[in-house]
Structure 1
């Protein structure tokens, strides 16, 4: 079973509970560019002074939650997550059109 998260508070709480951090990547799109969204999990304190991981991952750049949510809103997307408490990949998610 899945649920769709639309509020900033719900999305951030879901990601934070799983050690998630927001990431963006600008990519060419015809004559302009578009912004791709992602979340990365399992790396502690990515933006702290004691950085334990890269600030870039596969072309994605770590960003603030405000910047990430602005891109999410601009794209008209929500986040679909599993609400199955029995286990599986707790960090599994996908972006879906906001309806």
Structure 2
């Protein structure tokens, strides 16, 4: 089962509960050159084109892009964490 939300507290709690880190990907040629929000988890491959940011900056881009966050409904023990950013 999955959950889709735009609630900042719910998203942050889900990500941090799985040791995730908010990142912005500099997407040259994509998204009109605007950064794209992403989340990196410890077991993920590195993303050299991404930079770690604070939650305030991440949510500014998330909200400005009109995105929603879909994630697995399982607990933190579920591995690997699965999420998707949607443009509803």
Structure 1 runs of 4+ aligned residues shifted over 4 Å read: none
Unaligned ranges ≥5, structure 2: none
User: Which of the numbers 49, 56, 72 marks the counterpart of 1:66?
Assistant: 56
What residue is the counterpart of 1:91 in the other structure?
Answer: 81
What residue is the counterpart of 2:12 in the other structure?
Answer: 12
Query: RMSD over aligned Cα, in angstroms?
Result: 2.2
Asked if structure 2 preserves the Cα contact closer than 8 Å seen for 1:15 and 1:21, the reply is yes
Asked if structure 2 preserves the Cα contact closer than 8 Å seen for 1:5 and 1:78, the reply is yes
Please state whether the residue corresponding to 1:27 is helix, strand or coil.
coil
Q: TM-score scaled by structure 1?
A: 0.72
Aligned residues: 84
Residue 83 (structure 1) shift = 1.0
Unaligned ranges ≥5, structure 1: 44-55
Question: Which has the larger share of strand?
Answer: 1
Structure label with greater radius of gyration: 1
Asked if structure 2 preserves the Cα contact closer than 8 Å seen for 1:18 and 1:90, the reply is no
Please state whether the residue corresponding to 1:24 is helix, strand or coil.
strand
Structure-1 separation of matches of 2:73 and 2:27? 32
Q: TM-score scaled by structure 2?
A: 0.81
